[in-house]
Amino acid sequence: MGVAFVAHCLLNQNSKVGDGAHCAGVYSPVVDVLRDKGWRIEQMPCPELAFTGLNRFWAVREQLDTAAYRRHCERLAEAVAGVIALRVAQGEDVVLLGVQGSPSMGVTVTSSDPLRGGRPEWPEGTAEHTSGEGIFVEEIRKALGRRGINFPRVAGETHALADHDEATQRAGIESVLDHGQGPGDGVTGAFWPAGGPGPSGSGVPPAGRVPPRAST
């Protein structure tokens, strides 16, 4: 048991980009895992909601990666890091549950397309998903680094990925929750759901592009 810092939208799908809400409000497949395992929930703020608003377009990292958005994410990350620091100081195990494929909340898969911009039209299925972290997650990593705190183990909700499977998603989250105490990096920090798109379900994200299903 420990504390799971969860992406805002996992408790509140109303914060999602238009056409992105998978359910009315709480995304229970993730909450159910945490409840079953007895983990405490800490909801992080949604970095995109207050900055780009409810009417935002689906976006990739390159469109959001501005100095102003970085500063916004840094401010939010400091707030989150303050809570993580509190929990770590109490000796509690901490994990971070993000949103795979998100330009902000991806933990091992984000969205990238350097050519996207201008008139918002692009071929459906453009290969935008790529290995890496979203901007907000990067800023959380930096904020924890400034405090000398190891980045926690991570897992992600995988709805946006082409091969999303709820059972695999649950198994992946359970695997990270059950891994036990220890820093994320070098342990399971580069977590990929078992059976996911990594080579032979190896738990290692593949290099380069990942089949897309949805953006933000």
Q: In terms of Cα–Cα distance, which of 167, 169, 165, 191 is closest to 179? A: 191
Residue 83 binding other proteins, by CB under 8 A: yes
CB 145 within 8 A of CB 157: no
Q: Rounded to the nearest whole angstrom, what is the least distance from the CB of residue 12 to other proteins in the complex?
A: 3
The residue range among 36-44, 63-71, 137-145, 199-207 that interacts with other proteins, by the rule CB under 8 A, is 36-44
- Of 20, 103, 156, 172, the residue at the interface with other proteins (CB under 8 A) is 20
The helix/strand count (H/E) of the chain reads as 6, 7
- 89 half-sphere exposure, CB direction, 13 A CA radius: 9
Laid out side by side, the sheet with 209-210 consists of 109-111, 129-131, 209-210
Among 7, 30, 33, 46, binds other proteins (CB under 8 A): 46
Dihedral of CA 170/172/178/180: which sign? negative
137: number of Cβ within 10 Å: 28
4-12, 93-101, 102-110, 128-136 -> range binding other proteins (CB under 8 A): 4-12
**Range in contact with other proteins (rule: CB under 8 A) among 5-13, 127-135, 161-169, 197-205:** 5-13
Instruction: Indicate the SS3 state at residue 19.
Output: coil
**Among the listed residues 1, 2, 7, 14, the single contact to other proteins using CB under 8 A:** 14
CB 101 within 8 A of CB 213: yes
43 sits near other proteins (criterion: CB under 8 A): yes
Candidates 33, 59, 210, 214: give the one binding other proteins (CB under 8 A). 214
Residue 145 interacting with other proteins (CB under 8 A)? no
Closer residue to other proteins in complex, CB, 50/127: 50
Q: How far is the CB of 14 from other proteins (least distance, A)?
A: 4
Residue 29: Cβ within 10 Å count: 17
Chain residues in the site for other proteins (CB under 8 A): 8, 11-16, 18-26, 28, 31, 40-43, 45-46, 49-50, 53-55, 75-76, 78-79, 82-83, 86, 214
